[in-house]
């Protein structure tokens, strides 16, 4: 005899389905990205050190570090040697500092950031191929204005940039999934109940202004967001 699913359980499944974040949508430039790998480091409370994982890094690749801290003042952050700050944006509770580095031969694959005071911190490293190794960052923007999380537009100077949109928030209330923009692909979206961050991306065919990347949510919250345009050194059929 077949077992019947109780009505309450069936309704719970329907609610889970309806509340799930939207499926990833392919943008007009294609779903593939030059991001080949990422590695998240989970939240550590009262940290003075944040060690990120770059174990899969290969010489010549671009590393982007997303260093996130919460509920602390504007403490001093010391990056590893050879890492360059892209931008550093802070709201009342969330700070997002982005760095880049070109992987060298025989270098440390566990880059470490130091904080001069304890702070709750987490982060991730992205590995990116096919970038301009001498000048990979075209332009960037940052935003912490209260309201829906929005990574504001940038105006690129070269054709064929890859646009990354970075978001981070303490979310105040757990379990509120953002609605992702349909024209950007989800690259990083760790499954965690609070202190969330996510990274989106898409190619831009021609130089000029990008769109604001807005992630609608059921509440206003303290967040930091940024767009970073990467100069790509080659084109692929996937684009």
pTM confidence score: 0.83
Closest CA to 127 of 86, 49, 187, 180: 187
Tokens coding 111 = 């880059």
pLDDT score for 221: 65
10-residue mean pLDDT series, the chain (239 residues):
38 31 32 88 94 96 96 87 96 93 95 96 96 96 86 96 93 67 90 83 96 78 90 62
Total Cβ atoms within 10 A of residue 163: 25
Structural domain boundaries of the chain?
Answer: 25-230
Token pair 């892209």 is at which residue? Answer: 86
Closest CA to 58 of 119, 104, 126, 118: 104
CA 73 – CA 63 distance, rounded (Å):
27
């Amino acid at each position: 005899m077949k077992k019947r699913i109780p009505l309450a359980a069936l309704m719970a499944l329907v609610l889970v389905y309806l509340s799930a974040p939207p499926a990833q949508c392919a943008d007009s430039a294609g779903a593939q990205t030059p991001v080949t790998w990422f590695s998240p480091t989970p939240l550590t409370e009262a940290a003075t050190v944040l060690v990120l994982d770059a174990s899969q890094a290969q010489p010549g690749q671009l590393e982007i570090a997303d260093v996130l801290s919460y509920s602390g003042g504007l403490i001093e952050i010391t990056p590893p040697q050879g890492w360059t700050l892209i931008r550093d944006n802070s709201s009342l509770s969330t700070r997002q500092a982005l760095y880049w580095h070109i992987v060298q031969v025989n270098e440390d694959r566990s880059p470490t950031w130091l904080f001069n005071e304890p702070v709750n911190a987490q982060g991730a490293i992205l590995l990116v191929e096919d970038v301009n190794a001498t000048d990979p960052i075209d332009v960037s923007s940052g935003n912490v204005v209260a309201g829906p999380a929005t990574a504001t537009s940038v105006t690129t100077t070269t054709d064929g940039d890859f646009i990354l949109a970075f978001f981070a928030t303490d979310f105040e209330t757990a379990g509120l999934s953002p609605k992702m923009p349909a024209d950007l692909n989800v690259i990083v979206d760790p499954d965690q109940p609070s202190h969330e961050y996510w990274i989106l991306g898409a190619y831009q065919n021609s130089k000029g202004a990008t769109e604001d990347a807005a992630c609608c949510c059921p509440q206003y919250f303290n967040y930091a967001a940024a767009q970073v345009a990467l100069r790509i050194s080659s084109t692929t059929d996937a684009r």
